[in-house]
Amino acid sequence: MERKNIVVLTGAGMSAESGISTFRDNGGLWERYNIEDVATPEGWERDPELVTSFYNRRRQEMLDAQPCMGHCLLAELERFHDVSIITQNVDNLHERAGSTSVLHLHGELMKVTSSLSPNAPEQIIELSPSCADVQYGDPAPDGSPLRPFIVWFGEAVPLIDDACELCRKADVLVVIGTSLNVYPAAGLTRCVPPGAPVWLIDPASVTWNASGSVRHLRMGASEGVACFMKELLEC
């Protein structure tokens, strides 16, 4: 079997099966929190202690969760193919499942950084599970208060060009658990080479913006990944 370059784009539906709260679904985070208060630079300026507390709670929720079968199957797929995961999720469930190539478009919960230079590599600190809470005012290497290493609404997505380059090299694109409503991530589907098979795994109807045809498996993440892998490995 010839090894293929498989690129997987995952969204909140991927981690929902692990118990991680989604954003836009019924009961999601944005029904309980105001986006402008906890996920924008302006919210950070207004009330950094609220934002710090919000991400402390999300970090603990993530640490209490376990990778779902879908996460584990994608890690297993590396035995047979070259797999690159581009995720809109800020949790570390892909890594904990064993995936070795994960690009986090929107940041990572287990990292904090400088309020002044959030994307400077030398300012980014990785937290440990045993010491995952941050107090507002804890200093970054440059002395500014630590903020979450999260790409907030209204901020540029530093890794979008890297993600697009991965998609350009894809033999197969698999999109799992994302509504494709958030740009620029949604535009990645148009970076895939013409003729490359595209699979969409999501139980809901999704307004598609890809340039080619799409095979839609209306299933949850784990069931859909299992179905996709079965067909792929039988080819």
Contact 25, 189 (CB under 8 A): no
Alpha helices in the chain (DSSP H): 12-16, 29-32, 35-38, 41-46, 48-64, 69-76, 93-97, 160-168, 221-234
Contact 39, 148 (CB under 8 A): no
Please identify which of the residues 71, 94, 104, 106 carries the catalytic annotation.
Answer: 106
3-state helix, strand, coil in the chain (%, to 5): 35, 20, 45
Compute the distance between CA of residue 157 and CA of residue 43 in angstroms, rounded to an integer: 18
End-to-end CA distance of the chain: 8
b/e per residue 195-211 (b: at least 16 CB within 10 A): ebbbbbbbeeebebebe
How is residue 138 written in tokens? 């804890």
Contact 22, 204 (CB under 8 A): no
DSSP state of 12: H
Is-catalytic flag, 104? no
Catalytic site positions: 106
